[in-house]
Amino acid sequence: MAEFLSYFRQDRLPHIWCPGCGNGTVTGALIRAIDKLGLDKNNIVVVSGIGCSSRAVGYLDFDTLHTTHGRAIAFATGVKLARPRLKVIVITGDGDSAAIGGNHLIHAARRNIDITTIIINNNIYGMTSGQASPMTPHGMLGTTAPYGNVEYNFDLCELAKAAGATYVARATTYHYVLLEDLISKALMHKGFAVVEALSQCPTYFGRKNKIGGAVDTLNWIKEQTVNVKAAAALPAEKRAGKILIGELHSVEKAEFTQQYLELIARVQRANPTYARNKGVPGCELNSD
Amino acid sequence: MPEKARLMQGNEACTMAAIAAGLEFYAGYPITPSTEIAEICAEELPKVGGKFIQMEDEIGSISACIGASLTGAKAMTATSGPGFSLMQESIGYASLCEIPVVIIDVQRVGPSTGMPTSPAQGDLMQVRWGTHGDHPIIALAPGNVKECYELTFRAFELSEKYRVPVVVLTDEVIGHMREKVVLPDSEGYTIPRRAMPQSPAGYKPYAADPQGGVPLMAPFGTGYRWHCTGLFHDENGAPSSKPAVASALMRRLNLKIESKADELADCVAEGLEDCDIAVVSFGSSAMAALSAVRRSRSEGDKVGMLRLKTIWPFPSATVQRLLAPAKKILVPEMNLGQLALEIERAAGCERPVIRLGKVNGELFHPDEVFAAIKEAF
Ligand SMILES: Cc1ncc(C[n+]2csc(CCOP(=O)(O)OP(=O)(O)O)c2C)c(N)n1
Ligand code: SF4
Ligand SMILES: [Mg+2]
């Protein structure tokens, strides 16, 4: 316990989250994964957007960047490309990443930039009190879908994979051990990695949909999921409508910032006499 | 480096100045009439070890620049009206979080898609007030290609010094115009980076130093482990909704730049000392204005000219002083009176400020300004 607390800015606690919220569970899984991997605290930058989930970064003892709604991945792209040696992690919500920030998500995936993106999907806009999100399932309720959602939700993992992400996985706050393991693997992956963490917002999603409290909402999430390995053995009718959890996609592919560094090396070899005006600071910070 | 005379475009001059100033990171999205800046950066930055990325839109571009700047890199983007509109939320973020970034806005006619290949000066107020809330910003307006170079260089200097977004406000004509430019000899001249702390012990990311009101900025990834947030924050960077914290932050932030308005003032005056009519303008409109003013003077009329190179913070005291002799003020500009509004506020009292606005995508012709001067007498 104590060793994990050292990853938090304890003077910033207590957190703002409701009792029973899944955000803390996902944040805990990230911290344990970082600890297990022995990553250097000083080399980690955690970036988030706006939402309850995005508030996680404020409590973490790394360089942390709490940005504007939807833009976390774009800010993170700047951090990573400017300093490729840094381990860049994004924590984002389902509204943050799939609505307002959807464009940045797919383009970061397309580039295969080495950023680990953890999407806390609670099927709702929590921070603004329960409006429907692009991840609110068809027919379910939100304050802006008072008669049932007539829209359909994304399959975020399929979306990320189709857009070019080279590591894609999904777990839930119920399947905690799996979640931590998948986050570890995502952190070790070189390229754009997405972990979708299905999580409970008992306060708005659970209550609005009359699912019940935190435990009921957690169980509601659990009931819908099936592990991708187990699913292979299930008859089609038992698999229908289930959400797959586990590692869904993992491929090796040249990473964006590494390729850019190679490009620089190639261009500089071809232009050996080219240098900045003397006296103007060069790129000493760009050696990585 | 020996001085070199070159024929270059305004956009090119902005880019060369940025690279000379130590530009390390460019993120942008193509838009006429700014695109050459992105194209030159794509080609030139890797040669000096810098990074270029074409983002998926302008919101992403400015956001990536801010991310890069947080790691200590000098960062820039360039755009025009529609893209500049998209950038506003993140510009506010950079203002509040005090992150240096340079933005070249090559203005075109708007609103909306307007006339993409025609010049305008309609972003004058947007550059000041485009993002929500009171916030600091600096905007510089070059009047020719040489000044594109000088003021972009200066933009980096000010952005790093004050930790504030600086906008270089050019337009389609200045951006695309070619002039012979003698590049300033920058040998031995360094643009200092933002002041950095010496050690992580006791680091307070938003503790203002007593003189300048500008906090020390630790680059991400160097062991400081600080929190950067667009929420109002205290000296430690912790989010706060305490009225006293909010008020102290907002006042320091805005005063940081407003209190330097006259130090930052930069303008070119000609014949104002004894003038009856003063013509005030900036950017490409000032070219026609100046030749009209000179013609009027050669015909014996007492006309003077003031061209502003610093637009924001508005150099009110300087403008007041220089315009004191004038009985009337004429403001030619390629919008419907945005600079005129500010001139009225700063120096209007009981003197007519005559608006000479133009929004048809054409540059002023000196004859138009000349006729307006005649009419004003
Ligand atoms: C540009 C902008 N639009 C809208 C908002 C209001 N807003 C804040 S959080 C949020 C939704 C967050 O939802 P999600 O990403 O799912 O996060 P959660 O709170 O559910 O964790 C919205 C719409 C905002 N802050 N900025
Ligand atoms: S509103 Fe929902 S998502 Fe936000 S803290 Fe409460 S339970 Fe969590
Ligand atoms: Mg949500």
**What's the average model confidence in pLDDT over B317-346?**
97
End-of-domain residue from the set B188, B203, B223: B188
Residues of B in contact with A82 (CB under 8 A): 24-25, 51, 67-68, 71-73, 75
Confidence at A281, pLDDT banded by 50, 70, 90 = very low
| pLDDT at residue A279 tops 60 | no
Q: Are B180 and B284 members of one domain?
A: no
B201 within domain boundaries: no
Q: B153 with B287, same domain?
A: no
Query: In this structure, which residue's CA is closest to atom 5 in ligand 2?
Result: A17
Number of domains in chain B: 2
Claim to verify: residue B30 and residue B128 sit in the same structural domain? yes
Report if residue B207 sits inside a domain: no
B214 occurs within a structural domain: no
ipTM (interface predicted TM): 0.97
The pTM assigned to this predicted structure is 0.97
Q: Per the CATH hierarchy, to which homologous superfamily does domain A12-270 belong?
A: Thiamin diphosphate (ThDP)-binding fold, Pyr/PP domains (3.40.50.970)
**What CATH code is carried by the domain that includes residue B304?**
3.40.50.920
Chain B residue at shortest CA distance from A286: B49
State the pLDDT at residue B350: 83
Q: Do B20 and A86 touch (CB under 8 A)?
A: no
The domain that holds B113 is classified in CATH as 3.40.50.970
Both tokens of residue B182?
């003698």
Q: What percent of chain B has pLDDT over 70?
A: 98
- Whether B279 is in a domain gets the answer yes
Taking an 8 Å cut-off on Cβ atoms, the answer to whether B67 and A283 are in contact is: no
Ligand 2 centre and the CA of A19: distance in Å? 8
Least confident of A209-213, A280-284, B216-220: A280-284
B229 occurs within a structural domain: no
Q: Identify the domain boundary among B188, B220, B241.
A: B188
Looking at the structure, tell me whether residues B181 and B39 fall in a common domain.
yes
Q: Could you tell which of A48, A128, A204 is best to mutate to test the pocket of ligand 1, judged by most ligand atoms within 8 Å of the CB?
A: A128
Q: A57 vs B227: CB contact, 8 Å cut-off?
A: yes
Domain span at residue B16?
3-188
- Average pLDDT, integer, range B182-200: 84
Which one of A54, A67, A96, A122 would you pick to mutate in the ligand 1 pocket, going by the greatest count of ligand atoms within 8 A of its CB? A96
Which chain B residue's Cα is nearest to A101?
A: B60
State yes or no: cis peptide before B219, omega within 30 of 0.
no
Can you tell me which atom of ligand 1 is nearest the CA of A50?
9
Instruction: Note whether residue B287 is domain-resident.
Output: yes
Which of B188, B208, B234 terminates a domain? The answer is: B188
Same-domain pairing of B11 and B149: yes
Average pLDDT of A174-183?
A: 98
